[in-house]
A and B are shown apart, each in its own frame.
Chain A
């Protein structure tokens, strides 16, 4: 099977600086592969091995993210045989449909594929929609929150999908887009050998034919106001400290 795992490069949200006017400064934040896309890459690696197929990674974003060689190597050390990139500095991709249109455009440029894997949602915008939208644009089956993938035949997967209160088993004809849940696996840490090999794998920069205008605009983006908390902090784990906590709880009516 020919598998394509989508992964987004994002600023590490733990390293974003909040300025005094509550706006965000991203410049200092290091880049990372969006957390849940690691699950997509891991699933792709497993499925490629089980099917005797191959996995390519696909990422879309601006040049300052995707021309970073460390990031390229990081993606390629996680099981992909090659990396396809759509480098676009003209769109902000702040709306997931834009990203989905670009992914669909990239998949058309790549030509043939059996399984497209996406993570549950990106670490920055977490819309949880891109995979579904890309598959719908391509008019192929889509499933979200996938918790298990089995090969049923050359052209079919048996997919486990966990909903809020039930688990369903689906027969999914290929090609298809699957958004995997973070429950599906625990992403492995690349070995030294995989990291060494990553630098030698091919990187293809695609040019795509897709109209990707935005359909929503950002009016404002600010850090939430710090909520007022009483911050009555006591140091100690002795009897006295516990008594203070108990009397606090009693006073609050608990």
Chain B
């Protein structure tokens, strides 16, 4: 069973093969909406979509400015689901589209299925305490999804028709400047091994010892929400949890972290979870494959030495 039409809206070409493959399992016809010029769109003509519509964003403009013409295009279909890449721009577009299409946004959806000719979505609510399954009651629906929820196709094929968007962007906001972020970006989502640092760390300087462990394990370093948001010891992009990054490495070593439900929600797809915490009652141990109840400051130097 499939629905008629899915529109994929993404500010990142990289997700197209995966999203198109996933959308094709749900719908008869898949239109991809991308942001850039015709040449870039044509380069992705084999991404798996039936049609690619490109929005030629101007130098000072933004993808979000195209919400009105995208909504007008979607409305040419009697029913449709709009699948938006779950990025910051994507969420802005999703919110605008939902108003123009008069429907809800179901955000950060982690599972999709077609039931009774309509899409059902599962998403995490209450900071990881529950999974909610919802379905749209209106002809249109908007969802945001992150890369990784569908299987990526081994190879892409297809020859999509490439067309420019009809209609002009609205540009109420003028961009004065743009700069690359200073902090190095880490890709925790793609990491195979992660060292996960919690509030058991006594001082920012002690991150060094965690980094040393990561070095001998060939791992990336991430952290819990308080370490990034309250202590600001690591960039916000490094925190894992329901409201942060959701990871699925082969190994995660969790240091001095109690294991609140919102953090577990971000790491529970890891294959092997190792926990080190001095509090025997910490919930993290219920979610660990292997745990050491002890002082991380005693354990780590010896562990690093033995692993070197």
Contacts and interface: CB of A to CB of B under 8 A. Distances in A.
B274 A223 contact: no
Contact of B243 (A126, A167, A171): A126
A219 interface: yes
Contact of A242 (B135, B285, B299): B299
A126 B175 contact: no
Contact of A248 (B174, B237, B274): B274
Sorting the interface of chain B by its residue count into under 10, 10 to 19, 20 to 34 or 35 or more gives 35 or more
B75 interface: no
Nearest to B237: A164
Interface string B79-109: 0000000011101101110111011111110
Sorting the interface of chain A by its residue count into under 10, 10 to 19, 20 to 34 or 35 or more gives 35 or more
B236 interface: yes
Interface in A130-177: 130-133, 136-137, 140-145, 158, 161-173
B303 A245 contact: yes
A239 B302 contact: yes
Nearest to B107: A127
B175 A235 contact: no
Contact of B288 (A95, A140, A173, A231): A231
Contacts of A231: 285-286, 288-289, 291
A100 B99 contact: yes
A171 B173 CA distance: 6
Interface string B282-294: 0001111111111
B104 A215 contact: yes
B33 to A, nearest CB: 18
Contacts of B92: 132, 142-144
A97 B104 contact: yes
A217 B103 CA distance: 12
B150 interface: no
A235 B293 contact: yes
A170 B89 contact: no
Contact of A168 (B67, B120, B177, B285): B177
B176 A170 contact: yes
A171 B178 CA distance: 12
Interface of A: 11, 13-14, 16, 18, 24, 94-98, 100, 120-121, 123-133, 136-137, 140-145, 158, 161-173, 181-183, 186, 214-224, 226-227, 229-239, 241-246, 248-249, 252, 254
Given A129-B98, A172-B173, 8 more contacts: A132-B91, A141-B173, A166-B181, A216-B103, A229-B273, A235-B294, A237-B278, A241-B299
